[in-house]
Structure 1
Amino acid sequence: MSKPLPVDSTSLTPQFCFNERVLRDFLRLSRTTIDDSITQNLNALLKPAGEGFDPSSTHVRQLDATSKRKLSNKACDSFKDDVLFPAWQTRSDILNFCAAVATSPDPEDPDLISRQVESAKEHERVVNERLDPYSSRYFPREARTESLASLVRNERSVEQIIRARTWGVVAERCGTTRSWEDALDLWQEQRRIKSDSS
């Protein structure tokens, strides 16, 4: 299991955000690697050989025994600090950056002129609702910033659901009672203190 790479905010560009397929693919790949396979990732932390072999364990068939075993605090903390929280932080950083792009002016929008022309034509059009009651309907094309803002909102909702589900498994296996929000806040605070002191 590899550690997620931190996102350098200077390497992010608005083009990354406006390419919605690439943005979705990145988020999907990150979630698949860490969150969707959380049970396998946690099982990889078990070291059954360190506990020794119990011959009596072969008398009864063990069904999915590893998925319910508690992990050591050291293994859990290492996984959360080095893998889980950095992946979550990377996704949050990217969604925050793209949200800022979505709320910023977009002078380079390639469809801006065509939307303005369509809007001008629509205002000049003569509408006779008696002949065609639907002729007054006009649905302007959405600007790419509006589309991006909608995507970011949806992905943030998905992120909340995925984190809650992932944290449920982590809490069960690691024996933590803290919410994922509190645990992530604590990790971010510790990271800030560490970077300030160095």
Structure 2
Amino acid sequence: MTRIIAGELGGRRVAVPPKGTRPTTDRVREAVFSRLEHAGALRGARVLDLFAGSGALAFEALSRGAADAVLVEAAATAARVAQSNVAELRLQARARVVKERVLPFLTRSQERWDLVLLDPPYDIARADLAGVLEALAPRVAPDGTVVLEWAARAGDAPWPTGLTATGAKAYGETAVHYAEATRAPGERTGSVDA
């Protein structure tokens, strides 16, 4: 079990799969979400949680004011646990679990997200992660934020064109990398004129 740290669901328990996942520690989650709150990246955000596992990262975002979340997880057991957590937390109207591999999901998706959380297996090949990030870049809304949790020993994140590194911090064996979507020349932000 892990707990949601803060917000409307603070203190609620989240079940984790019995094996095959590596839940983000409370210390790392607290640091990540404090930074995201300070940057104003959570309130009303559309969230994409890739390699979602139990969904704890998405649930923390929803608890702290994100509008909705899509959780993508390929492992059947982990996807079932995430779906069970959605029901237990009564988030069916705000959270959707997709049992699919991340790259095919990104390739077929036409949606855009304000905040993307990635927690891939630490042993993912650098080229495979680079391919995921390449497919992700056009799916991030202008000025959107991407957070990647990866092995500290892996070095810098392989950010593609369209995502610009904004920082990184190591927590023991874990490193958290941050990037923002780069707005294309002439691309506007904000609401569409009526």
Name the TM-score class by shorter chain: under 0.3
Question: Whose RCO is larger (CA < 8 A, sep 6+)?
Answer: 1
Higher strand share: 2
Question: Under a length normalisation based on structure 1, what TM-score does the superposition of the two structures give?
Answer: 0.23
Larger radius of gyration: 1
